Amino acid sequence: MPRVRKSNHFVNLNLNVRGLNQSATLLINERSNQLIQKGQTVYKLGLGQSPFPVPKNVQEALRQNAHQKDYLPVRGLMPLREAIAEFNYRHEGTKCSAEDIMIGPGSKELIFILQLVYYGELIIPTPSWVSYSPQARIAGRHVTWVPTSEDNDWRLSPEKLDLICRNDPNKPRVVILNYPSNPTGSTYPKTRLKKLAEVARKYNLILISDEIYGLLDHSGEHVSISRFYPEGTIISSGLSKWAGAGGWRLGTFTFPKELRWLQDAMAIVASETYTSTSAPIQYAAISAFQENPEIDQYLIHSRRVLKALGQYMATRLKAQNVTMPMPKGGFYLFTNFEHYREKLASKGILTSFELCEALLKDTGVAILPGIDFGRQTEELTCRMAYVDFDGEMVLQKAMDENGSEPLSEDFIRQNCPKMVQAIDNIEGWLNNL
């Protein structure tokens, strides 16, 4: 086993962990906070954390359940699982029961445990969220990246997925499909989902449909691929993005009955690791998933804000010849600075990492390089999370503007000044290259 010298002591490292760094999203957040503490102005477009507050009724439910201290069932509190099953049907038309639901301390943990218990190759499109591949590596699983293109909004192609599977059609495989996407902000039309479902069924794939941003589809019309491949799809979700509760750490898996054996295996590992998800959080989460007009309004206006801000950001960057898909959900832009390659090279900037470092140093804008999401080192792609604004204030102002009409550019300029300044800084920097 390899050993690494640290502080005059030898520390044993498993080969699966050696060489891995801290999660890029968490690292950029910590780095940004350190710079702010030193008095520097930083525009935090690195960590994808919802800017909106946890809904008030859910906050109140947590206060009322602070006394809950018992260990709860490994798979989760039954009233919560019942509420989630009803929530899934109400929002997605997904028919399931409480027995099909598993609760964990974040969907991230549940995805990792699945890879521990199921011995299969992991297939993910590039770009993809920063933790999928490292988790597979820690679990000792092989990762196959599926190339995508900007011309196709960085979406997984059914044809390429089929090509990967056809050489060994019986090989156990797990495919992760995340949409609306982190990092691209794009999503999938029904026609593409149906074709992907056909390929998944052809090769008996286990499909993790990571729909953590599903309720933040800017149109409010998210469609789950589980409609077209119900027998092999696990829906991954939670409270972190649509309910602004990232730090609460509550994730959900919805299993088809055909994969109950996999849920059983995951429950065994859960029982020997995290035991159960925090009791007060689970009790409070029931109110998040129950039918409530306040939650509905919260979601409607969250989507209005994110849609307006995403379009504003993308439009301004596109005017500077920075290319990207127009965002359709969540709060991300996957930007490509290829137009500036020669000018950047003249300043010694040849990679996405060097581009992000230069932007942070010169403009105070913190973003993440495409390499963190599985793209090639020399590609000048970066992810921007448009979340650096006062979510509570902006959400209330959006609610005060009655109706569902799109929010104006003036609304964004008046209420999201740090986001506007971040774009001003990037624009000025590009013009001075």
Architecture of domain 69-290: 3-Layer(aba) Sandwich (3.40)
Judged by DSSP in three states, 130 sits in: coil
Per-residue pLDDT, 29:
65
Residues 171, 204: Cα–Cα separation, whole Å: 9
| Mean pLDDT calculated for residue range 67-75 | 97
Using one digit for the tens of pLDDT, what is the confidence trace for 82-135? 999 999 999 888 889 999 999 999 999 999 999 999 989 999 999 999 889 889
The yes-or-no verdict on residue 403 having pLDDT over 80 is no
CB-based burial label for 181 (10 Å; 0-12, 13-18, 19+): buried
Q: Which CATH number fits the domain 8-52+294-431, given the four candidates 3.30.70.260, 3.40.50.300, 3.60.21.10, 3.90.1150.10? A: 3.90.1150.10
CB 305 within 8 A of CB 411: no
Per-residue pLDDT, 38:
82
Cβ count within 10 A of residue 184? 30
Element (H, E) at 324: none
Cβ count within 10 A of residue 79? 15
Residues 322, 351: Cα–Cα separation, whole Å: 16
Per-residue pLDDT, 31:
73
Domain range annotation of the chain:
8-52+294-431, 69-290
pLDDT tier, 45 (very low <50, low <70, confident <90, very high otherwise): very high
Judged by DSSP in three states, 213 sits in: coil
| Mean pLDDT calculated for residue range 196-207 | 98
Per-residue pLDDT, 47:
82
Per-residue pLDDT, 2:
42
Cβ burial 160-178 (10 Å sphere, 16+ → b, else e): ebbebbeeeeeeebbbbbb
Q: For residue 147, what are the β-bridge partners?
A: 126
Specify the length of the chain in residues. 433
Per-residue pLDDT, 22:
54
Tokens of 395: 């959400």
| Mean pLDDT calculated for residue range 303-332 | 97
| Mean pLDDT calculated for residue range 285-313 | 96
Task: Please determine whether the domains at 8-52+294-431 and 69-290 fall in the same fold group of CATH.
Answer: no
